[in-house]
Structure 1
């Protein structure tokens, strides 16, 4: 047990000191108002893929049409075979800058979201937009969101700028599981590393991605990643791998409207992509189970059930865990003491990941809104 305890302590030392200080949750857009504004504001086209988003699409469209962006702006909503009146609600919330495209069934080899985005791109082909904004139908933008995104892209010479929307954290299950979702994402993709041009890490958050159109098209557009389930990080990897500078940060300017009122809805979100994140590889899955068990489960078990040095080292590792999680909890307005329960939360996410693998093996991988996409 002493060796397990030492390994757990070493793991937390590496996480605290050796992964870009991801846990401090300070890679955000809090400096956005200090960015210099360009002499000329480029033309931007926002594309919103929407399928059965009647509850949120009107708020999304209103937020985008209310942007204080000084340059030319165009909005395209792709109504992806909705049966709940999403397209009509979008039209009712928009203005003369809005185009609603009626989507068709996805082409072979494409994921539903990416093919909807592709149809939006085809609808504005030939128009002179210098930047593209891909944003989801459940995302609400503050009035200065687009202006700050473009200012960062131009000031920092970035071809991709992405914001991780602030996820809703109101219900019981949201308060326990949503902060951990963002924490685990940052642990997997340290934002600081992703934002460094020489680092291999590349990440984006699909709810809000601004792209320099020329660079995006030079990489082949969406075609090289057309079947990917984890489309946002795949897009970031495509851009950065081609030599582009990218940037990802947390924000309060962009908010997700999607409610996760019960554990089942959170489970569905995670199960859709978790096994794809592990490259559909059973050996990687086994390694992930072992790693999560060592990092998150061993410390409290050693602290409670162990003895001697194993107990003290377990307490030390558990303390490191609580320390690392505290900044994320504070961002969501929650008590840092909730970090004591992070081992239980991690166990739930571990079970979600195993369920994701089970779904893939059953031929139901990537299930979202009635469609599956396996091995994308």
Structure 2
């Protein structure tokens, strides 16, 4: 029996060594071959100003945003933009006085002209946000803008934000220029979870690949999207993506598929003012769309869970197992993978002005994201998936196609 136990221990050690080596190999591949996703230097370039400044209409979909509007809308109205610009805030069935507050803020702060409108409840097959965006784009069409700025109601802009977006789009020849707003990191849970959220997004959609012509990688950040109006018409935005819960990625993909150029980077001077102080708040933010990101596919869910385990959870487990079993190879592979993981996370922590000691905690944060993703699938199959502000959206294909 002792010999059998010894053989079993040797087999277990061999298995853990192989798995830890696979994890290390995965991290070396991510480090070198995944578009250098971990670098945070993809920022809006300082471009020379164009010869002329085109007309821009900003469209702001808003549903029950009274708590954050005073910290965001005045910054949009105060844009220092040399061309013609105005703002359309589309009140998507708010019950907290969002529309009235927007009008009051406009009267008190002045700045760009503001129109507040309401489209009514979205029809079947539309998410509320995209129905509001459609209404805003239709209103803006009467002004014949060259560009549309799609920005969320919780986004605060620096005074030169619109100016820099337009300069980058005109001189770079992009149909979409999007900035991933810097999210709030004040509470302990925000510090632990938010930088990792952006890090995981960049890992999935490397910014350098998005901006490269001829690649299939496409994504945008819905809080700040400058969209060329004729590109929106060519890609049938937003009608072509009317059921998309992850609408920003869908928008970028539609534009790129229609031949347009897309750029996405981290923001300087574009900030989200929405607080997520508790873990439950962050959990709902992630879980409402995580399974939609996987196209509601159980096989993709299983693959994602396995991938998260191998890449993020195996390294610390391998260190512990290697030390316990006296296997230097297992411990070394696990430690190497953990070191690469933490090292690639450091630039994002610096971007969010967070202490470097959070980097080794990334496996714990990844485990939380794994649970959020599984919970997203569970809620979907219980009929409560993609729930947001009183609405629950059905899986695409479950409603009649209007097109």
TM-score band, normalised by the shorter chain? over 0.9
Structure 2 matches for 1:97-246, cutoff 5 A?
Answer: 97-246=113-262
Distance between the aligned counterparts of 1:213 and 1:196, measured in 2? 21
| Selected match of 1:54 from 61, 66, 71 | 66
Distance between the aligned counterparts of 2:198 and 2:164, measured in 1? 22
Structure 2 counterpart SS, 1:20: coil
**Contact 2:321–2:330 (Cα < 8 Å) also in 1:** no
Q: Which has the larger radius of gyration?
A: 2
Distance between the aligned counterparts of 1:2 and 1:221, measured in 2? 50
Distance between the aligned counterparts of 1:146 and 1:364, measured in 2? 37
Partner of 1:319: 339
Distance between the aligned counterparts of 2:186 and 2:391, measured in 1? 28
Displacement of 1:124? 2.6
Displacement of 1:329? 0.6
1:19 is aligned to 2:19:
no
**Mean Cα displacement is larger for which, 333-342 or 127-136?**
333-342
Structure 2 matches for 1:236-275, cutoff 5 A?
Answer: 236-275=252-291
RMSD over equivalenced CA pairs, Å: 1.0
Partner of 1:344: 364
So what's the TM-score if we normalise by structure 2? 0.91
Distance between the aligned counterparts of 2:137 and 2:61, measured in 1? 11
Distance between the aligned counterparts of 1:271 and 1:59, measured in 2? 26
**Contact 1:50–1:57 (Cα < 8 Å) also in 2:** no
So what's the TM-score if we normalise by structure 1? 0.98
| Selected match of 1:296 from 297, 300, 312 | 312
Deviation string 1:211-244 (CA, Å, 9 cap, x unpaired) is: 1101111111211100000000000000001110
Distance between the aligned counterparts of 2:142 and 2:65, measured in 1? 29
Displacement of 1:65? 1.1
Structure 1 counterpart SS, 2:38: helix
Structure 1, unpaired ranges of 5+: none
**Contact 1:51–1:86 (Cα < 8 Å) also in 2:** yes
Structure 2, unpaired ranges of 5+: 1-15, 397-403
Displacement of 1:57? 1.6
1:276 is aligned to 2:292:
yes
Partner of 1:83: 95
Deviation string 1:82-134 (CA, Å, 9 cap, x unpaired) is: 11111011001124710000230011100010001111122233321110000
**Mean Cα displacement is larger for which, 20-29 or 254-263?**
20-29
Structure 1 counterpart SS, 2:189: helix
Structure 1 counterpart SS, 2:391: coil
**Mean Cα displacement is larger for which, 184-193 or 326-335?**
326-335
Displacement of 1:297? 0.4
**Mean Cα displacement is larger for which, 65-74 or 96-105?**
96-105
Distance between the aligned counterparts of 2:137 and 2:360, measured in 1? 47
Distance between the aligned counterparts of 1:66 and 1:59, measured in 2? 12
Displacement of 1:252? 2.1
